[in-house]
Structure 1
Amino acid sequence: MAFYGVNLEVKVRELNLQFKLALQSKGGSVGLRTLAKIFQRMDVNGNRKLDSSEFEQALGAFGFFPKKVELQALMKFYDVNNDGHISYEEFIRGLRDELSPRRVKMVEKIFQSLDRDGSGQISLSDVVQIYDVSMNHEFIEGKKTREQIIGEFLNGFEGARGNKDGVITKDEFFDYYTDLGMSVPSDEYFVRMLESAWQCPEEEADPSAQASIRMLIEEVRKRILELAKGDPKLIKKIHSDFDLNQSGSLTIDEVTNMIAKLKISVERKYVYPFFKFIDQDNSGNISFEEFEVYVLNK
């Protein structure tokens, strides 16, 4: 579709850039707090969403006066769910900057690691293998189960474009981190934050990362053999002791706990590569057989 002879998407993005520049010239840095205040001022009737009239008035207040057809195109661009209004979430989404190449690469890597079956979407069963709830205060206090916490976590990704179905598409995943990235100006901090949250190093092939992972593999093996006191039969008991829910296999949470109990200091981002090293069948759990093969270095 064309817009005055120009591709519609290109033209709308040009208009939106003009609006963003107008916001910056009037309001300074366009961070989340600033945008929240701007949206509140725009929302004349206080219903937490903007109709076309409020949106037009808001644009004018910032010195931006698009033509009627341009206003309609911008309104459609912001109104993701097509309900005739712009919610705060839609407003933020429309003004955000795209992820930098480094951020895109990191988010893509994490999505691929979660999408274990290659379906192009993430379900509860995908996330449960990696997401660690052990430090969540509601889990510790027994207020919520692991499944409830992870379910809420999944729904947190389903923003303006989500349908609250408990499944995250790749677009929804990228939308979430693009929104989050607005409040994280540094690529370095953004990447480190994701490394910690998902226990996933940015560059596993990096020599220092490889060295840390190898160190963890060898140190855990050494500590377990010390606990077993040279008796291979005790390895099964050790596996069972760390299997806190007695499911017969170790989850990522239980492996994280095991490393802590063994008093091994390591950055969280190296735990998942370590976990994958032992989980030879890529099931998302470490069976006793896999544990034994790892410990005895068979």
Structure 2
Amino acid sequence: MPQHMFGPDPVHENRVLRSLKALRMQLGHKGSSAILGVRSSFAHLGDASMDKVEFDRWLSSNGLHMSTHDIDTMCNYFDVDGHGHLNIEAFLTGIRGDLNDRRMSIVLKAFAKADPEDTGFCHTTDLMANFNVAMMPEVRKGTLSEESAKEVFLHRLEGTADVLESNISKEQFVDYYSWLACSIISDDTFVDLVETAWSVSEADVDEDRFNMCVQVLMGWADEKVKGVTDEVKQKQLMRTTLQHFDLENKGSLFMPQFMQATHRMSCSMSEEIAQLFFDKFAVEGKLDYYVMTEALYS
């Protein structure tokens, strides 16, 4: 999010954040279609920015309300070139926000079903083959047929009508769900929505992230022994590094110690993922790094 043109101002920024939250709530009450339609509602303007009068007019045309003072605040805050106009792209980024780690993980898992080789792109045919269109709100309400709903979904993804024979990028997919997430407060609700739509499981996401961390740790050990394919040396190095953080020298680590040790081994992980290691290798609440290293190199 851009800083105010006159420099960082926490009070000013807090007001902007409150205004953005209020705007998201107004859009949320109108449903996911309103949220997803925000970007396209600017398309006809043909400009990269708008003045305060134009911004007020845009709000009114979309059934949204903001005080005159808040309009001034927003236009000043999202004025990236000092001309007194609200930069549309900066504003869109601000109102959309970013997915948190949990939401991002399940979204990337969904996209990976259509892009198993992680190219960053997938054809719409492959994408839609994995999409449970029957779960779209419009289909469930009976306002759209499944075929029409597919076209609506693809249009929202790419922002153009002619998308049936094109590729969708990972960035477009994430952007779509970032907008959709604006109207969903609960992480559990969001994850359930993506799981249902794409037949993926958050449990699988966690396992994938666990395996990725394992590969990073083993890769670190391999690099440290200069690529020598001697698993005994690699295992011993990993164990010695973990032992360095074992202040009681009892062969086990508490969570903070384990996370410090893995950070030393070039693997920064969340507590959520660290807990997976504890679930697999903990004894009486502490991670047994002898058991862990034996298992990783078995």
Asked whether the two chains share a fold, i.e. TM above 0.5, the reply is: no
TM-score (norm 1): 0.44
Q: Report which of the two has the higher share of helix.
A: 2
TM-score (norm 2): 0.44
